Amino acid sequence: MAKGHDPVELLSDAHRQELARHATTHILPARAIIYRTGSTATSLFIIGDGAVKTFRDLPSGRRRIAAFFFARDLFGLAEAGVYVNTVQTLIPSRIYELEMSTLTGVFQRSPDIELQFLTKACHVLREAQHHNIIVGRRDAVGRLAMLLQLLLKQNWLATGRQEIAIPMTRSDMANYLGLSLEAVVRACRRLEMQGIVEFIGRHQGRIIDRRRFDALASNV
Amino acid sequence: MAKGHDPVELLSDAHRQELARHATTHILPARAIIYRTGSTATSLFIIGDGAVKTFRDLPSGRRRIAAFFFARDLFGLAEAGVYVNTVQTLIPSRIYELEMSTLTGVFQRSPDIELQFLTKACHVLREAQHHNIIVGRRDAVGRLAMLLQLLLKQNWLATGRQEIAIPMTRSDMANYLGLSLEAVVRACRRLEMQGIVEFIGRHQGRIIDRRRFDALASNV
DNA sequence: CGTCATTTTGAGGTATTTCAACGAAGGTGG
DNA sequence: CCACCTTCGTTGAAATACCTCAAAATGACG
């Protein structure tokens, strides 16, 4: 089983308040670009509510989605000087912006906050390694199952634990999984045909057979 | 082109001396296990000389190599409480061990050292994302070219800049690239047939046609 | 309610995987 | 120092699964 994906509290309440004083809040609609590849990196961002995707467009015209981020996730730190990925909201989101210049001051005053960021960076790294394992699978259905499992964790509390909220398009899923759009569609079909997952519309799913679902996702 | 892979100095000389006082030096032969999946995480490690691989064995029996690390690289931070990957030397190596307990003290005294570690963690994250892009390619030859390009950067100074030192086995390369062992062998053959790269033995390569080599590696 | 992007479905091509057997290399013990 | 043995590497042939291309249907949005 893929471990290391428990929801991680980024910061304690005290630290969160300390940071809140320095943060700018952005209320963004769906599909809003937060920053682009190559622009100079000036801030870190924390998601209050919503979801974003970080991606790069490759020379071939293909697009690779490096990660999806959700509430309490941190992004903007995978760079040095300039951002290497573009970040865009999937759904309306509330984003907190922390300017690096003010952040270094906070770090000087309280190294333990900085340690929290280091911990969080490690969490993001584990996510990236897990992503590597997903893409390493050869079967489309198994890859899809692992992505759905990821999404399931997000709505563990919000919705029932069989309900899967899918805030992105099939195309996004394909770009994350390293599959073609058609392969994703067919994989969804097959999960339905086999009675493992049911799809209601394109942005919601429901687990029908949890045992076989977990078996699929774990069968790396 | 894949950017973000320039050799990064982990620490300034002053900081390195500060850390050296707290570090334990290990001289290890090839194939030595430094720590295993699931053991409690007590230390960070920095490579003085040598090379290591970090990997996980999946339930299916497959092995996925998450990363190769070389001189001045840092590892042991991709975890929370327990290590999630096993780390093993590829060649005889000198490894510095920094116990977390002493490290937190250092962080308290000099937050700028901690910031260096955060920066380094971001670098490792970028490497993981680059790995994602490599594995995302569908052509075995292109993936191999990107790995060779990575190895090339390591020996930029040590050997000529056409010489590629390959400290790992074909099997390791396969597990890193998400290919079968046979696919790696055939990809090597094809690079030779096309006069792009020449292999001397199994652990050394030489770039023959740099233009086409770069074109291959960039053609993501 | 119409337009447009996204999704869905079908058929064929191509790459890698798998399976099997052989050859080479490295490490160990006599 | 040599021989053995285990591991790793190499090559060939067939099968599977995904990709690509093309066209129709669905859904989103103004």
SS (H, E, C) chain A: CCCCCCCCCCCCHHHHHHHHCCCEEEEECCCCEEECCCCECCEEEEEEECCEEEEEECCCCCEEEEEEECCCCEECCCCECECCCEEEECCCEEEEEEEHHHHHHHHHHCHHHHHHHHHHHHHHHHHHHHHHHHHHCCCHHHHHHHHHHHHHHHCCCCCCCCEEECCCCHHHHHHHHCCCHHHHHHHHHHHHHCCCEEECCCCEEEECCHHHHHHHHHCC
* Separation between Cα atoms, residue A190 and residue A174, nearest integer Å: 16
pLDDT the model gives residue A3: 36
Beta bridge partners of A44: A98
Reading the block at residue B207, the tokens are 């770039």
Per-residue flag: A178 CB under 7 A of strand D: yes
pLDDT of residue A6: 35
- B77-81, B119-123, B155-159, B205-209, range with greatest mean pLDDT: B205-209
pLDDT of residue B34: 96
- 8 Å CB contact between B191 and B197: yes
E strand or H helix that includes residue B186: helix B181-193
Do the Cβ atoms of B64 and A132 come within 8 Å?
Answer: yes
pLDDT tens per residue, range B177-208: 999 999 999 999 999 999 999 999 999 999 99
pLDDT over threshold 80, residue B10: no
A52's tokens: 């974003």
| Residue-level pLDDT at A1 | 37
> Distance between CA atoms of B44 and A200, rounded to whole angstroms?
47
Mean of the per-residue pLDDT values of chain B: 90
Give, for all 220 residues of chain A, the pLDDT tens digit: 333 333 334 566 777 788 888 999 999 999 999 999 999 999 999 999 999 999 999 999 999 999 999 999 999 987 778 999 999 999 999 999 999 999 999 999 888 899 989 999 999 999 999 999 999 999 999 999 999 999 999 887 666 689 999 999 999 999 999 999 999 999 999 999 999 999 999 999 999 999 999 999 998 8
Q: Give the pLDDT mean for B122-145.
A: 96
- The answer to pTM > 0.75 is yes
- Residue A94 is predicted with a pLDDT of 95
pLDDT interval class at B159 (50, 70, 90):
low
Residues of chain A neighbouring B220 (CB-CB closer than 8 A): 58-60, 62
For residues B165-169, average pLDDT: 96
Which residue in B5, B1, B2 sits closest to B127, CA to CA? B5
CA distance readout (Å), A216 to A149, A186, B61: 10, 16, 15
Specify the CATH number of the domain B13-133: 2.60.120.10
| Per-residue CA distances from A44 to A6, A104, A128, A213, B68 (Å) | 22, 11, 18, 36, 28
> Residue A94 and residue A24: Cα distance in Å, rounded?
10
Q: How many CB atoms lie within 10 A of CB A119?
A: 16
Residue B93 has pLDDT above 50, yes or no: yes
Alpha-carbon distance A137 to nearest alpha carbon in chain B (angstroms)? 8
Phi-psi region of A31 (alpha: psi -120 to 50; beta: other; left: phi over 0): left
Q: How many beta-carbon pairs under 8 angstroms link A with B?
A: 123
CA distance B157 to B44: 27
Q: One fold for both B13-133 and B136-217?
A: no
| Amino acid symbol at A6 | D
Q: What is the pLDDT of residue A54?
A: 97
Query: Which of A:79-138 have CB within 8 Å of B?
Result: 79-80, 84-85, 104, 107-108, 111, 114-115, 117-119, 121-126, 128-129, 131-133, 135-136
Q: Which of B3, B118, B132 sits opposite A121 (nearest CB)?
A: B118
Q: How confident is the model at residue B3 (pLDDT cuts 50, 70, 90)?
A: very low
Considering only the top CATH level, what class is B136-217? mainly alpha
CA A84 to the chain's CA centroid = 16
Instruction: Look at residue A2 in the predicted model and tell me its pLDDT.
Output: 35
Q: Is the pLDDT of residue B158 over 70?
A: no
**A180 nearest nt, CA–C1':** D19
pLDDT score of B7 more than 60: no
Structure-token match 């609609």, residue found: A29
Q: Residue A134, by phi and psi: left (phi above 0), alpha (psi -120 to 50) or beta?
A: alpha
Report CB contact under 8 Å: A115, B114. yes
Report residue A80 as tokens: 């040095």
Domain positions in chain B: 13-133, 136-217
